[in-house]
Amino acid sequence: MPTDASTDAAVPTPPAPSTPPTAERAAAPRRPIDRSIVDGPLGPAVWKLAWPSVVTNVLGGLQGIIDHAMVGRFVGYTANAGVGVATQLWIVVIVFVMSVFTGMSVLVARFIGAGDTDQADRVVYQAFLTATAMSLGVLAPIGWVAAPYLLDFVNATPAVQAQALPYFRAMMAGSTGMLIFYMLGGALRSAGDARTPMVLGIVMTALNVALNIVLIGGIGPIPALGTLGAAFGTIIATTLVAGYAVWKLWRGGWAVHFPRHHGFAPDWEIIRSLFRFGLPAGFQGIAMNIGGVLLLRFIGSLQQSAAAQAAYTVSYTELFALVTWTGSALMGATAAVAGQNLGAQRPERADRAVYTAARYGVSVAAALGLLYFFIPGTLLGLFGLRDADVVAVGTQLLRVLALSGLFITVALTFTGGLQGTGDTKSPFYISIISQMVVPLTICFVLQQAGLLYPIGIWLAILAGHVTRAALSVWRFRQGKWREIEVSLAPAT
């Protein structure tokens, strides 16, 4: 596997204070940086960042569950399939922008670990500028125009497309608020504050629930908007929370904020660094989600494809998300702890943090796996799935995912260790192999042999997760991440 070449100059050292007194008085006091991440016991340090992130991910994911549960009850399972297909495509489109946040997190964690809060603030502001410009100026218009062609590509039936198209277009046009929320969460977690994103996530989810109740089913003079109402609820809730976040970042008082004394124009050196570390993660996300889209294409070729797509949407993208939300939260926590400790020149602590996080993740995945295996019908019923074909296929998938969750959790925590220390290229190569080559080859061979049934696709997913876990552990144990260095020129 190719080695990481993302090296620059030396690890940054704390600069002399350069903020003018007037600028400091104009902003609220900065929240103190939590140094226990680099000085205290590792287990509590990982858990301190992980548990708020798990809550944030679970609450944020509840928005999707609420969307599915409500549209399934008010519209039917074609709406579940429509929202699921549209969401998969939407993620593919925005994941490139979100790669900037991975680059931001690498830099922020390293600078915070080295005690350089000024450089961390500069990085956060430039990430905000870059993501906003790309979401409004590039992805929204392209996503709007390409939506019908993408839905055709995944073999969505006309009934599913009728539900998916307005949802997808609305989410693309209104995605800026959610991107800002993700940016804020990544920045604060990398600086050691995972509780603030959790609180904002709770508020955002509560708003989304209230808006969905009104907009999906309709209340009084407000008509029932179905899947489009689900999109509007998410857009309004995320935009309101993002507006507050931008105001707070400007006013100050969090662990990071927008710098007031470096100007507000784009800083191309920082933006290049964001993409240098972030683009491999973006390509990784694109590869993973293209793999998901191609799996949808195989599922769409099955007999009773709408039922199979609905089962996949609820079982994999919603119920299995309880595992991936936990794993993703641990990935973010691991990245922050490993990055800060490497910035503080303590690589052995970075190494141990990854194994600590993996143990936490496997415990949660095992508990959830028992539920998937023993009560799949009950879980599917929560989403209004009563059709016999959908329940049969969904039960089959959940029982495979009961085992798969153990491997994807390990993969995610070790990916966090690699990315947090600056090795963002290796996870990209691993994703190509595990999320595209392995499962899609299995599906293709089965299809050519005339043996492509749902269980074959579900086992292909399991094979991909096993491969990803094995390669991620192997790459991390090589220790190449210890040699990666980052720096920025001092602010003028």
Structural domain contains residue 12: no
Structural domain contains residue 266: yes
| Residue partners of 272: CB distance under 8 A and separation at least 6 | none
Most confident of the ranges 54-68, 270-284, 288-302, 442-456:
442-456
Pair 424, 6: CB distance under 8 Å: yes
CA dist., res. 213 & res. 67, Å (int): 10
Residue with tokens 């990209």: 428
Average pLDDT over residues 291-306: 85
Instruction: Give the number of other CB atoms < 10 A from CB of residue 492.
Output: 6
Which neighbouring-strand residues pair with 252?
28
Structural domain contains residue 170: yes
Give first-to-last CA distance, the chain, whole Å: 40
Q: What pLDDT is stored for residue 25 in this prediction?
A: 41
Q: What pLDDT is stored for residue 28 in this prediction?
A: 66
Question: What does pTM read for this prediction?
Answer: 0.76
Q: What pLDDT is stored for residue 377 in this prediction?
A: 92
DSSP of 146-160: HHHHHHHHTT--HHH
- Any idea which of 304-308, 435-439, 452-456 has the lowest mean pLDDT? 304-308
For residue 390, with 0-12 CB atoms within 10 Å meaning exposed, 13-18 middle and 19 or more buried, which class applies? buried
φ, ψ for residue 222, nearest 5 deg: -85, 120
Nearest of 393, 367, 369, 370 to residue 380 by alpha carbon? 393
DSSP of 80-147: HHHHHHHHHHHHHHHHHHHHHHHHHHHHHHHHHHTT-HHHHHHHHHHHHHHHHHHIIIIIHHHHHHHH
Give the count of domains, the chain. Answer: 1
| Residue partners of 296: CB distance under 8 A and separation at least 6 | 85, 88, 154, 155, 309, 312
Q: What pLDDT is stored for residue 491 in this prediction?
A: 61
pLDDT tens digits, one per residue of 462-489: 999 999 999 999 999 999 999 888 777 6
Structural domain contains residue 32: no
Structural domain contains residue 294: yes
Structural domain contains residue 3: no
Structural domain contains residue 7: no
pLDDT above 90 covers a percentage of the chain that reads: 42
Structural domain contains residue 88: yes
Q: Which two tokens stand for residue 235?
A: 């857009």
Q: pLDDT category, 12, cuts 50, 70, 90?
A: very low
H helix runs in 174-257, sequence order: 176-190, 195-215, 227-251
Q: Please report the sign of the dihedral spanned by the C-alpha atoms of residue 126, residue 130, residue 100, residue 404.
A: positive
CA dist., res. 390 & res. 392, Å (int): 6
Residue range(s) defining the domain that contains residue 266 = 45-483
- Mean per-residue pLDDT of the chain: 85
